């Protein structure tokens, strides 16, 4: 698989098979991902990777927990922008529509949302964290690291789902894993083999046109 194929076929998978992922594969991916861009070579990213009994234990804790109050960081700040809110609504319509879940079906929507805590059935969960003193440039570095991991996973025939949802339960996760309060739990990355028969994995992903994002000058 070349880079273009990896970029175009990568998507957030929300239904996984339970096929185990070999440790050697994960180590190879994460070892190669160390070469993601990093301003000043700070390499701010850190992670815990769970599978099997440790993953199950965390999921049981999360299912019994409540979201943080207040949240350690908010991922929904763009909601104040009509343009960006419209993109969220477009995604929601496609995602819930693929499952036949109506806009008024709150119970079904809530049940689907809680599947985030089960990593959508993925056999592996990477929990990304970093020291709280890291600033916005380092957050950007962490995003590039996660994208690098996701593309390397595609090269291994694996899929993933980046989930900032886990940040909503950051304090619970940190307490369970023995992390200190000087650490920010940023996101999860569910990893495994996609269930290609699941409708949720096949809807058309809405994306804005190139010219909505980029202007070209001097060409």
**Tens digit of each residue's pLDDT (9 = 90 or more) over 141-179:** 999 999 999 999 999 999 999 999 999 999 999 999 999
* Helical pair 136-155 and 23-33, crossing angle rounded to 10 deg: 130
What is 7-78+118-202's CATH topology?
NADH Oxidase (3.40.109)
**Per-residue confidence of the chain (219 residues) as pLDDT tens digits?**
899 999 999 999 999 999 999 999 999 999 999 999 999 999 999 999 999 999 999 999 999 999 999 999 888 878 888 888 888 888 888 888 888 888 888 888 888 888 899 999 999 999 999 999 999 999 999 999 999 999 999 999 999 999 999 999 999 999 999 999 999 999 999 999 999 999 999 988 889 999 999 999 999
CA dihedral 155, 20, 91, 168 (to 10 degrees): -120
Per-domain residue ranges of the chain:
7-78+118-202
Measure the CA–CA gap between 200 and 126, rounded to whole angstroms: 22
């Amino acid at each position: 698989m070349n880079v273009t194929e990896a970029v175009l076929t990568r998507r957030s998978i929300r239904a996984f098979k339970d096929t185990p992922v070999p440790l050697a594969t994960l180590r190879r991916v994460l070892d190669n991902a160390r070469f993601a861009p990093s301003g000043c070579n700070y390499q701010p990213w850190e992670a815990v990777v769970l599978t099997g009994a440790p993953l199950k234990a965390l999921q049981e804790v999360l299912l019994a927990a409540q979201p943080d109050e207040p949240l350690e960081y908010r991922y929904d700040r763009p909601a104040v922008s009509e343009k960006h809110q419209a993109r969220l609504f477009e995604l929601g319509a496609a995602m819930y529509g693929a499952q036949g879940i109506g806009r008024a079906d709150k119970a079904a929507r809530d049940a689907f949302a809680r599947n985030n805590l089960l990593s959508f059935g993925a056999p592996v969960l990477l929990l990304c964290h970093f020291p709280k003193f890291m600033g916005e440039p380092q957050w950007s570095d962490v995003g590039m690291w996660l994208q690098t991991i996701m593309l390397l996973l595609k090269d291994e025939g694996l899929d993933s789902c980046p989930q900032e949802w886990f940040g909503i339960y950051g304090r619970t996760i940190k307490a369970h894993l023995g992390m200190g309060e000087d650490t920010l739990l940023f996101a999860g990355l569910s990893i495994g083999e996609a269930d290609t028969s699941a409708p949720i994995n096949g809807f058309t992903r809405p994306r804005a046109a190139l010219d909505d994002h980029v202007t070209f000058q001097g060409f």
